[in-house]
Structure 1
Amino acid sequence: MGILQGKRILVTGVLTDSSIAFSAAKIAQQEGASVVLTGYGRLSLVERIAKRLPETPPVIELDVQNEEHLGSLAERVGEHVDGLDGIVHSIAFAPQTALGGNFLSTPWEDVATAVHVSTYSFKSLAVACLPLMKEGGAIVGLDFDASKAWPVYDWMGVAKAGLESCARYLARDLGPQGIRVNLVAAGPLRTMAAKSIPGFAEFEDSWPPRAPLGWDLSDTSPAARACVALMSDWFPATTGEIVHVDGGVHAIGS
């Protein structure tokens, strides 16, 4: 039996098979879970990628800035599963003006978009799914260490700092309902999201040499395995935590 045997898992943010979300969905299925995916925008692409999983899961449209989508999410997910035991939040976006060294000149409208999609959506998704989590469960978000000011990351770094704080407040408020809330802070990976960051090569060049365990920029499975583990019953008393899956870079001075 797998560590998610019989569990019902919602995975957001699957756009390509190189994403952490795709790897998390794959491993969750291999560990016995029933999986539902959400997609945004190019839904046909998500449906095509979903067919590459061991079992083709249903795909539901979700724009986290659309209140109608959020309001109907529990009902639409409920058409495929009778509840949820775990959620993977893999949603982030910042306009190009908010990245790549434009920190001092980014207009508020673009900062607001980055915070809405990358930070506030963590709370929005959790609240939207609460009707399906009456027996408790686990919510896991994907993070990038926000304790430092990184090159080119700019307002996405600020949004991730907000995500880390949001996770702690959600852990406080959802704990009495038996819901654990944690983050996985992965090292840089060659995902679609990373490719959209101007100057991402700076991370690619510097990260692996600094990692005590080494770091494979193309292997999403370590971060995905952490997500699956946190949704399992093996972490029953862990909430408000940030689990670093970065080869150890966060612990080493520069």
Structure 2
Amino acid sequence: MSGILAGKRILVTGVITDASIGFHVAKFAQEEGAEVILTGFGRLSLVERIAKRLPKPAPVIELDVQNQEQLDGLEGKIREYLGDDASLDGVVHSIAFGPQGAFNFLEASWEDVSTAVHVSAYSLKSLTTACLPLMEERGGSVVGLTFDAQFAWPKYDWMGVAKAALESTSRYLARDLGAKNIRCNLIAAGPVKSMAARSIPGFEELADVWKHRAPIGWELSDAEPAARGVVGLLSDWFPKTTGEIVHVDGGVHMMGA
């Protein structure tokens, strides 16, 4: 099969429904020739059902990024599907979570904040290092999803701080893994109406910014632009791009007053 990911093996996290950016990443990756493995957390049967809607059914591995035992076992689970001599060419980090308390900046407890940072930022490091033995020989690409942390967004609060930590984590990974020919980049996506978005109090107020400030327009129901950006960074078309944040947000990031 031809395509910009032909022959590559990609691990995609964060697929919950077919509205998830992760689902569209998996779909486009398959269409571009990749073999895809998914991870799921919690409602694994739901992820397995959604996986059947891909162009080709994809195996699903249970992974809670706060569970070190599951992280330690991830390499072995991947080898069960790909073989003992398997390698990975790409890892997609599409994971974020903040307890409801994290969306109240002044009143959030450390427990809420630490959960948001652990799941949304530190997990980029823990996921990448869990997959490192499968990527060291040939190199590859790690791509995560962020929500532009340059600004204090309405209602986003400690999740914005967690995204700032994610962006910094990506740069340090890019620094430390460059010698292994592993790139680490992020897509800064505009808001997408997914199941995860519905858990953000005040999401509509946050998303309203895009109605007025995206010069090229932005559709809240369309996860495809961000997913295509991820697939591009997974490909060999960006061989010397690392530590970068590529904005796929309709241009909102560059607009002034």
| TM-score of Structure 1 vs Structure 2, range by shorter chain | over 0.9
| Alignment correspondent of 2:28 | 27
State the TM-score, normalizing by the size of structure 2: 0.97
| Alignment correspondent of 1:73 | 74
Written as runs of structure 1 = structure 2, the 5 A alignment for 1:6-17 is 6-17=7-18
Kindly tell me the number of residue pairs found equivalent between the two proteins.
252
Secondary structure class of the residue paired with 1:115: helix
User: Aligned pair 1:98/2:99, yes or no?
Assistant: no
Please list the CA deviations of residues 73-110 of structure 1 after superposition, one character each: whole Å capped at 9, or x if unmatched: 011011112110001100110000111xx101100011
Is the Cα contact below 8 Å between 2:41 and 2:63 reproduced in 1? Answer: yes
Written as runs of structure 1 = structure 2, the 5 A alignment for 1:1-254 is 1-81=2-82, 82-99=86-103, 102-133=104-135, 134-254=137-257
Q: RMSD between aligned alpha carbons?
A: 0.6
Percent sequence identity is 69
CA positional deviation for 1:23? 0.2
Q: d(CA) in 2 for partners of 1:217 and 1:240?
A: 27
Is the Cα contact below 8 Å between 2:214 and 2:252 reproduced in 1? Answer: yes
Secondary structure class of the residue paired with 1:93: coil
Deviates more, 1:2-11 or 1:75-84: 75-84
State the TM-score, normalizing by the size of structure 1: 0.98
Is the Cα contact below 8 Å between 2:155 and 2:206 reproduced in 1? Answer: no
CA positional deviation for 1:203? 2.5
Q: d(CA) in 2 for partners of 1:213 and 1:78?
A: 43
Unaligned runs of 5+ residues in structure 2 are none
Secondary structure class of the residue paired with 1:147: coil
Q: d(CA) in 2 for partners of 1:50 and 1:149?
A: 35
Q: Which 4+ residue blocks in structure 1 deviate beyond 3 angstroms? A: none
Secondary structure class of the residue paired with 1:204: helix
Q: d(CA) in 2 for partners of 1:189 and 1:229?
A: 19
Is the Cα contact below 8 Å between 2:11 and 2:88 reproduced in 1? Answer: yes
Output the amino acid matched with 2:111: E
Q: d(CA) in 2 for partners of 1:71 and 1:60?
A: 13
Output the amino acid matched with 1:14: V
Output the amino acid matched with 2:30: Q
